[in-house]
Amino acid sequence: SLAVHQGLADILGLGVMVWAWRTPSCYWPWLGRVTYGAALVLLLGVALHGTDAYGAKRWLEIGSLVLQPSELAELGLVLVLAEVMSHRELSEMQRVGISLALAVPPIGLTLLEPDLSTSALLGVILVASLVRGPSEGPDHARTGAWAGLALL
């Protein structure tokens, strides 16, 4: 039944939340890279072998499991961009360039589905990370301008 399904999903979600809370921060960069990489592979799988529904090819069927990899891409992008922003030794331009290079593939692959809302959300994640990155003072304003250009 729907109530049992929702209850199991809630329990699983709470378990993941506790696991994330207890995971040492030194593992998060690795988890981000793995999540991002898996999301890109799965998004490529959608582009090649995805399931059509209502004019969009957003789902990947693996046996009886049906996945929407663009959701995983959101998490993966947040984690890898957080890692990029944590490297204060990178210049502003390096952070912008690396961030764009990381954001363009999942945005492009979700646009191909087409999944415009997720593509826009991935763009917002990129802009938010650039605006809230480690820049300070005049650099912060300049990074905000770069973020605005990236959104266009």
pLDDT in tens, 11-20: 988 888 888 8
pLDDT at 46 > cutoff 90: no
Model's pTM, two decimal places? 0.78
Q: What is the end-to-end Cα distance of the chain in Å, rounded? A: 45
Residues 119-152: tens digit of each pLDDT = 999 999 998 888 777 655 555 555 555 555 655 5
Best CA proximity match to 107, nearest among 137, 142, 81, 145: 81
Predicted local confidence at residue 136, as pLDDT: 57
Residue 76's alpha-carbon distances to 53, 79, 103, in angstroms, are 25, 5, 10
Nearest to 75 by CA among 117, 106, 44: 106
Q: Is the pLDDT of residue 89 over 90?
A: no
Q: Is 123 within 8 Å of 151 (Cβ atoms)?
A: yes
DSSP letter (8 states) at residue 25: G
Question: Confidence class of residue 103 from pLDDT cuts 50, 70 and 90?
Answer: very high
Task: Write the DSSP symbol of residue 115.
Answer: -
Which residue in 75, 78, 86, 77 sits closest to 133, CA to CA? 86
- What pLDDT shows up at residue 81? 93
pLDDT for res 134:
67
Residue ranges of the domains in the chain?
28-151
Classify 49 in phi/psi space as left (phi over 0), alpha (psi -120 to 50) or beta.
alpha
Taking 90 as the threshold, does the pLDDT of residue 90 lie above it? no
Residue 31 CA to residue 29 CA, distance in Å, equals 5
pLDDT value for 121:
93
